[in-house]
Chain A
Amino acid sequence: LAKTTQPISMDSYEGQEVNITCSHNNIATNDYITWYQQFPSQGPRFIIQGYKTKVTNEVASLFIPADRKSSTLSLPRVSLSDTAVYYCLVGDRRGGSQGNLIFGKGTKLSVKP
């Protein structure tokens, strides 16, 4: 099972760009990289997913280098409402199974005014 390593916590200020890096040295060929966001008293919410290079949506960007041993979630111009825990997951969901998707402890992002 591919495990991930991310910083426990990060601090930022409103308007700054935040980059959270996730290390996944033993990522397998068929594994995708997925990021979730969790607010207090809520379930995690899907943010972005990618396999290689760069993926961008209305919320964030995901940068994946050629060796795929790490990935970086980029949040542009954060606001106070971006304060949350961010989880990086690596796994292969062929056949729909998610038994091999492991949620780590996540990165607690605190955005200050």
Chain B
Amino acid sequence: NAGVTQTPKFQVLKTGQSMTLQCAQDMNHEYMSWYRQDPGMGLRLIHYSVGAGITDQGEVPNGYNVSRSTTEDFPLRLLSAAPSQTSVYFCASSYPDRNSPLHFGNGTRLTVT
């Protein structure tokens, strides 16, 4: 059981480049979300989805796009990378009930120069 898989593990971008961070889960979880983690800031919610075709903004959505065409996948797109987006990005998933814990991937470390 792979759980939540994030790719790539590391990425270096130049300012203005675009890329997609991939997130896939094999637990048939309806809920998926993206967080970014910066030193001393904890985890901040970027976007989340409660099911295929449904997405919503979190605490820090600017500069990021998401879509949810399948239950399994929830990609995060950076259309024009900026140095302020240098961070570690985590994807999480869970069942849609109040007692279900979040399952996290191991993160993507992104550096924008």
Contact = CB atoms under 8 A, between A and B. Distances in A.
B98 A32 contact: yes
Contact of B95 (A36, A96, A99): A96
Given A43-B90, A43-B92, A105-B41, A98 B104 contact: no
B33 A98 contact: yes
Interface in A65-113: 87, 92-99, 101-106
Q: How large is the interface on B (under 10, 10 to 19, 20 to 34, 35 or more residues)?
A: 20 to 34
A103 B44 contact: yes
A105 B41 CA distance: 6
Given A97-B48, A97-B50, A98-B94, A43 B31 contact: no
A95 B49 CA distance: 11
Contacts of B94: 96, 98
A106 B35 CA distance: 15
Q: How large is the interface on A (under 10, 10 to 19, 20 to 34, 35 or more residues)?
A: 20 to 34
Given A30-B98, A42-B107, A43-B107, 17 more contacts: A32-B99, A36-B102, A42-B104, A44-B90, A44-B102, A45-B104, A46-B102, A93-B97, A93-B99, A95-B96, A96-B95, A97-B48, A103-B42, A103-B43, A104-B42, A105-B40, A106-B42
Interface of A: 30, 32, 34, 36, 41-46, 49, 87, 92-99, 101-106
A34 B104 CA distance: 15
Contact of B97 (A44, A45, A96, A99): A96
Contacts of B43: 44, 87, 103
Contacts of A98: 31, 33, 45, 48, 94, 102
Given A87-B42, A104-B42, A94 B102 contact: no
